[in-house]
Structure 1
């Protein structure tokens, strides 16, 4: 019989090593290697073609029972999921501590329970009295939610097996769960992987929608093995800044809907409130045009959101080192855009400090924001406000060309709905909505001419 080999798994990144060492070679963390359960080693003579159970095959082209999505009672939550909760799905939700994950799920559980669905809420972090206090503040204390405070997966699955499968099962959180069949403390790679596997298997077999709350690392990634994100059907991130009241529920992976779909909430005293028109939230306070301010029609999944981009240019005396500060956008992309403005447009930013901010604490990842950022930078440098009621979008290449972006018509339609009258963007933007003027731009110097007033 072949000798079983020991292996050590990093508790920070999940990488596997064949011997223990003080520092992980992949993530450079110290004292994170722990011995994992020994893997079974099969010899070449071992035959796996017999001794197992017969697997039942079904034809995908034959008619079967259609899965009907269950509404959560929160339209923004359903939007991020792609239209509602799919029975038998496994959802992983991550977010910073105190951002409101448990609040959102408790409100969702209360809505589903009051709509007639059987809901089980299991917390490994809070006692029943603590959750009851929060439920009273959120107004869901009268909802028939079945609550349990437990960390043993065996006990949870045994209890669920003795009752009718619930419509919704919430586990808060997966890092606190423990299985007595796996060595290691709760939160280790082997424990998280094993506990999640057993819970997901129960959800698939019973048709129960499973929601797993996941802790995040200091880098914002979900703690534990990366395989956890592959095991679930939906990965969601609950984002927001503590200094702002809004929260964004973003879909990072979705087997049943569009990726990068978002739902917007506002944190209030009685819990999370839905924001039906997030564009008005991010554009609040715009009374008169000011230099260095532009409006960008961003696209999150299928939802257009108008956000304000602010730029500030501070001239320095000779010899001082200029500073670059970016909030809500990629720092490297701004450096690239500044280089294009200097090289292709003849503008001088090298002797000035540059500050860029996306209003409302919003985070932009859309490459179409290049033109709006460039417009804000040019406006701040020239100290001239941009044309009133105008939006800017388009991707800027290193040659200074303005390239087309996806769903230009949808962006312009949202801008016109909110009272904007003019749009600036790439030349082939497709069909434009009636009632909105559109100025096509092919190269970045043309935008400089528009703002500087020479054309």
Structure 2
């Protein structure tokens, strides 16, 4: 007998009321191992495989399948790899099913099987009509039994298989209800074996829990080749697909989409979309890096006098703890008075940014709002800020400056560490040593 938490998938040897992993109560449930297992190890026949020297193995490179969606190709590392298992997670209603149905209908040259355990065939047909897409090689199947899905897949022999969603499938040979830990692990294992043995590219749609993580055991993310996270505010027009894990390409890649009546459309130039071109106090432009893509982002800050006992520190799209650190550096190293001010920060476009290269832009946005001075929108700030107020270099500075030049920026403020680099650009590059020097020398207009 084993015990699993139905919320986070943590395993226990005995029952307990509170899960140590997710801190939820009454989520630990008992499961018994299947009849074909012994001490948790599956008993199988002797394998035909045998150990080989590394030099004896001849690598085979399969040509990637390119979809019509350039943004989706980007987050996958250059296209769909045959035999790969991709997991796409996101909040309900964010557009997961729409994105994969759109991809399936656009791949007209290959045979695609779209399996849904949540919607009827009629509902999928209505959505396809709304998207204005059709394909003679896209087949729909409404089914939740894994055995039947694999039977139809073997008969049809598709090049690409989409499962919507993994939490709705069940394997009759395994115990547990639909969506339980046992069922998710068993179904994913059999689908993984099918994908690797037939060279079929397989996409799984996954649900998320209330904390924003993928529902089910953490083992699910380890088993698949690629994990994609669908992000964005449902009230906003823009959606982001972020690569969390990728065995066939770089991680942290970002694809940006615009939600329209006719579906999700990739944004070719997201930097111009994320900049408002407004000219008022509290705005500064920085350059972040999402995977291999440089993005110019607008940082908006509002600094006001505190009306209550403790000043507020609110950040949207940025780590509040790092914001507090930057405010402390500004007050300690530059002499600005911020301890009795409310500070609000917003990263435009609905993006969530962790790149430290945006530190300098955020500091300048706070200074601009505090002094009620406008920073010219032809300037951009690209540097990390240290605890001593010094500016530190960032990686791939050439790509960031090239993106700024493409968007028409005239000046870039970077750390002095980059002086040794030969950066060829038409932008005037200013090398700054610390925050205090920048604040005292930058040209601002009233």
TM-score, normalised by the number of residues in structure 2: 0.94
SS of the residue aligned with 1:217?
coil
In 2, distance between residues paired with 1:204 and 1:364? 35
Counterpart of 1:211? Answer: 203
In 1, distance between residues paired with 2:52 and 2:139? 35
In 2, distance between residues paired with 1:452 and 1:410? 25
Deviation for aligned residue 1:431: 3.1
Q: Deviations over 1:197-223 (max 9, x none)?
A: 101110000000000000011111100
Aligned length: 438
Counterpart of 1:325? Answer: 314
Counterpart of 1:271? Answer: 263
Structure 1 stretch displaced more, 90-99 or 34-43: 34-43
Query: Which of 214, 217, 225 is the equivalent residue of 1:233?
Result: 225
Structure 1 residue 294 corresponds to structure 2 residue 288: no
Deviation for aligned residue 1:244: 1.3
Structure 1 stretch displaced more, 377-386 or 63-72: 63-72
Summarize the alignment of residues 144-163 of structure 1 with structure 2, pairs less than 5 Å apart. 144-163=137-156
Query: Which of 49, 56, 61 is the equivalent residue of 1:55?
Result: 49
SS of the residue aligned with 1:25?
coil
Query: Which of 162, 182, 197 is the equivalent residue of 1:190?
Result: 182
Counterpart of 2:439? Answer: 448
SS of the residue aligned with 1:357?
strand
Counterpart of 1:394? Answer: 383
SS of the residue aligned with 2:357?
helix
Counterpart of 1:422? Answer: 411
Deviation for aligned residue 1:59: 5.8
Structure 1's 218 and 383: CA in aligned 2 closer, same or farther, altered over 3 A? same
Query: Which of 402, 417, 434 is the equivalent residue of 2:425?
Result: 434
Structure 1's 254 and 125: CA in aligned 2 closer, same or farther, altered over 3 A? same
SS of the residue aligned with 1:257?
coil
State whether residues 161 and 202 of structure 2, in contact with CA within 8 Å, keep that contact through their aligned partners in structure 1: yes
Deviation for aligned residue 1:35: 1.4
State whether residues 167 and 206 of structure 2, in contact with CA within 8 Å, keep that contact through their aligned partners in structure 1: yes
Q: Which runs of 4+ in 1 moved over 6 A?
A: none
Structure 1 residue 76 corresponds to structure 2 residue 71: yes
- Which ranges of structure 1 fall in alignment gaps of 5 or more residues? 1-5
- Which ranges of structure 2 fall in alignment gaps of 5 or more residues? none
In 2, distance between residues paired with 1:245 and 1:119? 29
Structure 1's 375 and 183: CA in aligned 2 closer, same or farther, altered over 3 A? same
Deviation for aligned residue 1:143: 4.1
Counterpart of 1:3? Answer: none
Deviation for aligned residue 1:316: 3.1
Counterpart of 1:311? Answer: 301
In 2, distance between residues paired with 1:52 and 1:390? 67
Q: Deviations over 1:339-371 (max 9, x none)?
A: 111111111111111010011212111111111
In 1, distance between residues paired with 2:218 and 2:190? 17
Query: Which of 37, 40, 43 is the equivalent residue of 2:38?
Result: 40
Deviation for aligned residue 1:73: 1.3
SS of the residue aligned with 2:222?
helix
Structure 1 residue 201 corresponds to structure 2 residue 199: no
In 1, distance between residues paired with 2:262 and 2:5? 41
Deviation for aligned residue 1:60: 5.2
In 2, distance between residues paired with 1:91 and 1:294? 38
Cα-Cα RMSD: 2.0
SS of the residue aligned with 1:184?
coil
TM-score, normalised by the number of residues in structure 1: 0.92
